[in-house]
Structure 1
Amino acid sequence: MSNVERDPAEVQCGGVATAAEPEHELLEPRTVPLGGPRAMLVSRTLPNRDRRMVGAWCFADFYGPTDITGQSGMQVPPHPHTGLQTVSWLLGGEVLHRDSLGNEQLVRPGELNLMTAGFGISHSEESPSGHGPVLHGVQLWVALPGDQRDVAPHFEHHGALPVLSTADGDVTVLMGELAEAESPARTYTPLLGAELSVNADRALRLPVQAEFEHAVLAMSDGISVDDQPLANGSMLYLGPGRRDVLVRADRPARALLLGGIPFEEQLVMWWNLVGRSHEEIVQARADWEHGRTAADPDGRFGTVRGYTGPALPAPELPNVELRARGRARRST
């Protein structure tokens, strides 16, 4: 998915924060139009003002459930990515992915689309013709570590993922491992992504790695984490040092558990590009604009075939140098 804001702010993240990690930190979402002012709205919790990353997870958009009956639904034109992985996960509906490697894949609830951008890739995402009435899901980005950020781009689709089932609910492991379940999805840093489906008036106590930091994104009402209520679309950050996470529901509810080793590298994330310096971002933007206007299939980002409509132009760069800073705002 693209960050389609026409004037994207510089996002500076990565690096170890100087202050002690808080045990709990509520991250409220901001509303962003996906594809323009008349498009569907998404709730963005990462990057947040004070907490820009959770492990290597650096971007989280939650959307729906949205009634798209008689509408075009999601329409994200071809756009570029560098230095990250995109993670597409649906709770309802379907999204058609096309990329510059020639992959075309429909993703449905319970399936994982994982695209590794590496040195550069472009893709589009859209609700297919004849789509269903509802669209509901989450789009996430994972930052690649420095020694892997220029890997050759590739795409994975996983139609079956490991599920842990108990009387209290089900846990689907998207990435990484939890308890005895391990996802087949490729990762480049130690991390975890899991969907939690909690039964009414029940609780899931999940074992987690103490060296990880974690966060829980509420994807419905009725969720509490460590007995702290969490509104639909909000995220609760949990600092490292814990051995478990307790998620309760007073009605059937769903949430997303994210975690990972705190990301120690400094990053610059601007628009859809993740890099390490101003110069990297400037070059990637120039490469995209050249390929977009020249429709160069042999260029850095290639060409997405099959999407009806033009590729997304890059926003103008800010009039200041983009700087890499810490992954969390310093305490005052």
Structure 2
Amino acid sequence: MRRGLTASLISVLCCASLHAESLVIPVAGQGWQVTFDGPVPAMENLMPNEHGLEYRCSDGRFSLVVVVEPPAASGGDSVACRDDVWAQARQNAQIQQASVQQWSAPGCECVEYLTADAGKDDKSVQANLICCLAYRGKWIHLQASVTAAKDEDRSMLKHLAQSLSCGPFTEWKGGRRQFIFGDLGRLQIEIPSGWWVGNMSTAKGLGLPEQWTVSLFSASDPNKSWMMTFFHSTARYTTMEDIRRTAENAQQKAVIRSVEGAMNLQEIKLAKGVGCQASYTDAFMVGKPVEVGLPRVSASAFVAPLPDILGTISIMADDVKDPYFQAAIKALDTLEWEPAKAE
């Protein structure tokens, strides 16, 4: 039951232009987060570990990796972090040496450079950026790239570097939140205290439905996560039996791997629409020490607030009785949907 905030499994993604939004990477259990302005991701994956984390996201031509880890044996500040990371990255034979520039942004040290686009014509280049900083005993290094780069893409990368920062989590005591999913509609839900809203992502695939995902996280526990994805469904869900069939088909493997050994679907009591959920404990993890990045329990939910709108929801934790885990499940009853208004 490996934890990952994977917003979409779509592999064919479209991206005509890159528009920056504020993005957050929680360093759960450490009391702080990494923030920066970057393109809304089509897919993202947050992988915590006992030393820090690795975060990956992409959107067509744009891709990004952020690593939070202890400093190298020699230690040091942001400059030392940059020198260590660049010593490895500079081995790339595709780097156009004349394009390499080192500069400082507020709070971080940067290297930008161009490489030849693999498989593209000689005039096509990939713009690359490395940003490094030290914060609370950790090194944070971000590596971003844009293929078929234009001047506006390089400007976007520079703005990303200038917006990069680390700091404590914002205060949040819980409450009702609204998420606008483009032409799909609007989601409203009560977010319990102890859960913070992360990033929103959208994936568009050729011949596949547009998917919108919102991720939530715990500030104190890297093994707690909550992800909700919504999209137009070709099937229609008007009864509990409709949604149960979809849940039963999707959860067969989870049942086989679980301590429960059986499907125990519970109704989600939406004000409008149908939904159900079940929780499972990973049998493989029973009796083993808690390991960061490998949560023990999951709740899998399916909701149809409208007959042609399907939501798939996963909530992760280490204990099925965890009060924050249970609060997240209960919050699904408060989910409401508003269709997008026709223009």
Taking structure 2 as the reference length, the TM-score comes to: 0.31
Q: Which has the larger radius of gyration?
A: 2
Q: Which has the higher helix share?
A: 2
Asked which structure has the greater RCO (Cα within 8 Å, sep 6+), the reply is 1
Taking structure 1 as the reference length, the TM-score comes to: 0.32
